Chains A and B, each alone.
Chain A
């Protein structure tokens, strides 16, 4: 049973096509995250789901009902805005009542709903305050409260945490996760923070230039990104991309690329490459955490390959140490534990975990 279905949805502002055929679907109770760089159309998509923007082409269904031309108030949705959009002249209580009053919900139900939600979000002491008298985190809570009192079919969040400071953002993230667990409402959550998307969502839609690049479970998106854009967008520091050529070594498939001292570096692939593409150019994608120091413990582990690279920059962050390594003409970022951290200027022997390596087609940019 799916609560939200979007088929080939398009949106143009004048001549500019902002959304170019979006297909999405959210099963009941699911938490969908929409991620993508600024301007890719996330907010527009959300506004169309909410009924705040008109549909140029395609269809939106909520709970099976076609809602393309249904007014926002009749779509049975609630939305939390990035700016919170709390009514500044009303108290917190009035803010939460406003929607129910507009809909003519009976008085006793209104009171009960406020009581329930205020307890859920622990905002009882704030009910008589105006938004101007609240801290950022409290405002955020009230904004969610306003959405929750309505008990809608579908929750929409548009970057609800991006106005909070870093620490509060992490706390609220956890809170939203707990809340979703408890309330179990279908949710579409827009963010440009891929960590938020990874931690919260049951499925992630990665958007770019008005198109959904990949729509899948977080781990799949991380491990098997559909294309170079998704691979580069998800994960921080970003995945390293190394142009290479398919070859064979000891009878098994491998990739080779220019390495240390001008020589050719060849890494054996863990999975064998599809037949008939030997000699072809590919792009090898390796995440920073799949590089490690070549030491006795890991030696002999399956799927490891080694290469030698001079260390150019070392950036310790405490929990881990990032290092920029030189591989041929390229800079490759690695993520190391502090005790195996490289030193500046060292020629490091690096183990590459080829079980997680991705290969992309340079022409189509897609995963091979």
Chain B
């Protein structure tokens, strides 16, 4: 070790190379650190402001080190803050979102798995065309389907209801879940299905006993994708529901739109965090699968 250092000290070329390497490392970490700061600061600001009191925020601005600490803003945001004349805080909208997201996620994932199974393993005349149509659904902007959905929900008597949103999200999400599952099942060897057929297993038995046990990786990806997507969705929420039926994204916009009330940044920060927490939690717990979903959703 000492010999090596000596040799390096004596070898000017090695010394130069070593210094350049060090510089490069410093540069790499420097740039990464800078960007990380830009990415982290907004989150940090919101988190800190949710614990500061409003007078202090008004005095020092949003971006400054906290000098007070309190949980009042969180309680107020959850329980009693007034949004559009309704003083119940975010909890109602939080649960609206939850009762919309969980069933819609589970149903659309299950349906997607079955669609994917049929489209990859039981091809029939026209199944490719059907699949192409479903693909189009992935790219369709939500605006196109607003009017038809408004009509259908009206007919079903589900206008302005969380159940209506569940229906919309199940169907709208189907193209993505089908795409994910089909692309995954395509890589399951056909021989497996043939072997099972010779073994006497039928359509459903093959699905339950062979396909589903192979599916956890893709089901996790799909569930995470759907959960974050549906939770974060805004357009359908704001168009098809109003007042107490709105999901949390729509409520957040209503909350901050009514921001004339002297901008209660402490409470609004807490409210924003309440709205961001579930998907963030999912992201931190299942990050690997989240990223996999992103890359697969994009490249295919």
Classify A-B as touching or not with yes or no (CB < 8 A): yes
Instruction: List residues 153-211 of chain B with CB under 8 A from any CB of chain A.
Output: 189, 191-192, 194-201, 205, 209-210
Docked complex Cα distance between A146 and B200 (Å): 13
Q: List A contacts of B191 (CB < 8 A).
A: 81-85
Instruction: List residues 66-99 of chain A with CB under 8 A from any CB of chain B.
Output: 71-73, 77-79, 81-85, 87-90, 98-99
B85 within 8 A of A: no
A73→B198 contact, CB < 8 A: yes
Contact indicator per residue, chain A 233-263, by CB within 8 Å of chain B (1) or not (0): 0000000000000000000000000000000
Docked complex Cα distance between A81 and B199 (Å): 13
Docked complex Cα distance between A90 and B212 (Å): 12
B210→A85 contact, CB < 8 A: no
B200→A102 contact, CB < 8 A: yes
B12 within 8 A of A: no
A81→B194 contact, CB < 8 A: yes
Contact A85 to B199, CB < 8 A, known contacts A98-B209, A102-B205? no
B195→A102 contact, CB < 8 A: no
Contact A87 to B197, CB < 8 A, known contacts A81-B191, A102-B205? no
B214 within 8 A of A: yes
Number of interface residues of B (CB under 8 A): 16
B194→A85 contact, CB < 8 A: yes
The listed residue (B189, B197, B200, B213) touching A52 by CB distance below 8 A is B197
Instruction: List residues 90-119 of chain A with CB under 8 A from any CB of chain B.
Output: 90, 98-99, 102-103
Instruction: List residues 27-65 of chain A with CB under 8 A from any CB of chain B.
Output: 47, 50-52
Name the residue of chain B whose CB is nearest to the CB of A77: B198
B200→A73 contact, CB < 8 A: yes
A99→B214 contact, CB < 8 A: no
Q: List A contacts of B195 (CB < 8 A).
A: 79, 81, 85, 87, 146
Q: List B contacts of A72 (CB < 8 A).
A: 194, 197-198
A87→B192 contact, CB < 8 A: yes
Instruction: List residues 89-124 of chain B with CB under 8 A from any CB of chain A.
Output: none
Q: List B contacts of A85 (CB < 8 A).
A: 189, 191-192, 194-195
Number of interface residues of A (CB under 8 A): 25
Docked complex Cα distance between A150 and B198 (Å): 11
Docked complex Cα distance between A72 and B195 (Å): 10
Name the residue of chain A whose CB is nearest to the CB of B216: A89
Docked complex Cα distance between A90 and B209 (Å): 9
Contact A78 to B198, CB < 8 A, known contacts A83-B189, A83-B191, A102-B205? yes
A50→B189 contact, CB < 8 A: no
Q: List A contacts of B201 (CB < 8 A).
A: 73, 98, 102
Q: List A contacts of B196 (CB < 8 A).
A: 87, 98, 102
Q: List A contacts of B210 (CB < 8 A).
A: 87, 89
A79→B209 contact, CB < 8 A: no
B189→A89 contact, CB < 8 A: no
CB distance from B214 to the nearest CB of A (A): 6
Show the binding face of B for A, using Cβ within 8 Å: 189, 191-192, 194-201, 205, 209-210, 213-214
Q: Which 10 A-B pairs have the closest CB atoms?
A: A99-B199, A73-B200, A102-B200, A85-B191, A89-B213, A85-B195, A81-B191, A103-B200, A72-B198, A102-B201
Cross-chain pairs A/B with CB under 8 angstroms, 25 sampled: A47-B194, A51-B197, A52-B194, A72-B197, A73-B198, A79-B194, A79-B198, A81-B191, A81-B195, A82-B191, A83-B189, A84-B191, A85-B189, A85-B194, A87-B195, A89-B213, A89-B214, A98-B196, A102-B196, A102-B199, A102-B200, A102-B201, A103-B200, A146-B199, A150-B199
Show the binding face of A for B, using Cβ within 8 Å: 47, 50-52, 71-73, 77-79, 81-85, 87-90, 98-99, 102-103, 146, 150
